[in-house]
Amino acid sequence: MKRSEARFSRAQVWVHATFAGLVLLAIASAAFLWIDPLAQVFGRRAFITQVHTVVGLLLPVPLALGVISPAFRRDAARLNRMSSQDWEWIRAKDRRSGRIPVSRFNAGQKLNAAFTVGAVLVLFGTGLVMGSVLASWPTDYRTGATWVHDWTAFGLTIAVVGHIYFALKYRTGDASAPASEPDKSRVSN
Amino acid sequence: MGHEEELPRGAPVGRRLILSMAALGVAGIAFGEPIQRGIDAALSPLRRADPTGLTGLVPGAGGWRYYSVTAKQPNIAVADYELNIGGLVDSPLTLSYQDLLDLPTTQWTRDFQCVTGWRVQDVKWQGVHLRDILAVCGVQSSAQALTFVSYDGAYTESLTLEQATTEEVMVATHLDGTTVTQEHGGPARLVVVPMYGYKSLKWLSDIKLVEDVEPGYWEVRGYDVDAYVGESNGRNDEAI
């Protein structure tokens, strides 16, 4: 990959955009179901529930389509592996100084990616149980699924907020280059 | 990128994290119910004393949740409130909020259980027995059921005449000592104690005596018409 090229392939940008859009829609619709003042402003509970369900069912689609792209698969493999240097990097106070070499993705990005996929997997599964989508589930399981769904959604929302924060903060940087040599790539996080 | 290939590849931490989360999720589905019940019981007193409402954001912390099926919540001044009772009655009736207060009042402190799982403990209701209101207007012998209509223009509910005339059905004017607020369906709402919350219609506008039960808003969307807590909708909550 040359410096002048975009950091991510078109397929990857497309997967990221649709997945991000769906996640934000899921969070927004959930907020209108969850936060009383919002529910009081907008109401329409049956409609919002439907939106949230459909968005949730669509969530895995961009990820599944992404697997077709070799670039997506390659980056997924990179995100999967944490080297000893990654662990050192994430513990270091001066992790942004460039002292510890970072490969294409830094350790925070790797952990965030895995957490996001894990959370979406859990939300998808518990969502199916809550709505008794594929099979009818006993109430205790549905209550348990609701509990897991709520807490996981909390965690994912925090992760998404953090992800956007870091993306904006390091917008001009590039994790694939040493910190002293920022390049022109458009997406950093 | 030159240095990338030189770095050690490391352990598949991402995969491990994802699989661990999935396993925790499955365990949570299996054992979450008793855990949630414990948290619910522990946080319920806290929530009661919380003026900020922040505890309402904690999953499973108990307390009221606001549900409405329409875009806007009806905003009815106490002075403008009217309850119309019609259909198969001897004499149709319109009651103001003050008229309701002038009827014999009754009080209970009972739990409120939603079909989606949340339960509010020890809710203090004050109001008028529905059967006392029906006695004023007179029910014709052909009437076997009641249809309730909300000011919101969309929500309806139903009860059989037999269910509606039990001691545990009231038109509530007060909740926890004050006039029922807008959020809680005020100035006056239906309260059907032994059934799930969706039977306790908010912003009560009309009561119609009819021949047969007409399933209500959520009932045409799959909820049980006879909604006794713990005995319907596939749920096993403790009865109220």
B13/A45 touch (CB, cutoff 8 Å), yes or no: no
Q: Which of residues 70-129 of A touch B (CB under 8 A)?
A: 79-86, 101, 103-104, 110-111, 113-115, 117-119, 121-122, 125-126, 129
**pLDDT class for A51, splitting at 50, 70, 90?**
very high
Angle at B42 between CA B236 and CA B122, to 5 degrees: 65
> CA A45, CA B186: separation in Å to the nearest integer?
19
The predicted structure's pLDDT at residue B57 = 61
Please name which of A76, A49, A51 lies closest in space to residue A62, comparing C-alpha atoms: A76
> CA B129, CA B138: separation in Å to the nearest integer?
14
Q: Residue B79 pLDDT > 50, yes or no?
A: yes
B189-218 pLDDT tens trace: 999 999 999 999 999 999 999 999 999 999
The predicted structure's pLDDT at residue B148 = 97
Q: Residue B113 pLDDT > 80, yes or no?
A: yes
Residue B88's contacts (CB-CB under 8 Å, 6 or more residues apart) are B139, B140, B142, B143, B209, B210, B211
Asked if B119 contacts B112 with a C-beta cutoff of 8 angstroms, the reply is yes
A145/B71 touch (CB, cutoff 8 Å), yes or no: no
B138-170 pLDDT tens trace: 999 999 999 999 999 899 999 999 999 999 999
| SS3 state of residue A130 | helix
Q: Kindly state the tokens that stand for B27.
A: 């365990």
Mean pLDDT (chain B, rounded): 87
pTM reported for the whole predicted model = 0.70
| A78/chain B closest Cα distance in angstroms | 8
> CA B79, CA B135: separation in Å to the nearest integer?
24
Asked if A82 contacts B10 with a C-beta cutoff of 8 angstroms, the reply is yes
Angle at A84 between CA A80 and CA A85, to 5 degrees: 95
Please name which of B140, B136, B131, B133 lies closest in space to residue B209, comparing C-alpha atoms: B140
The predicted structure's pLDDT at residue A135 = 66
Q: How far is CA A184 from CA A1, A3, A7, A131, B123, in A?
A: 13, 7, 9, 46, 61
Please name which of A187, A130, A138, A136 lies closest in space to residue A164, comparing C-alpha atoms: A187
The predicted structure's pLDDT at residue A177 = 44
pLDDT top residue among A186 and B143: B143
Nearest-CB residue to A40 (from B9, B14, B73): B73
The residues pairing with B128 across neighbouring beta strands, listed in sequence order, are: B171
Inter-axis angle of helices A84-91 and A107-130, to 10 degrees? 90
Could you give the ipTM of this predicted complex?
0.83
Torsion of the alpha carbons at A144, A150, A154 and A155, rounded to the nearest 10: 30
Chain-centroid distance, C-alpha B56: 16
Contact list in B for residue A119 (CB cut-off 8 A) is 21
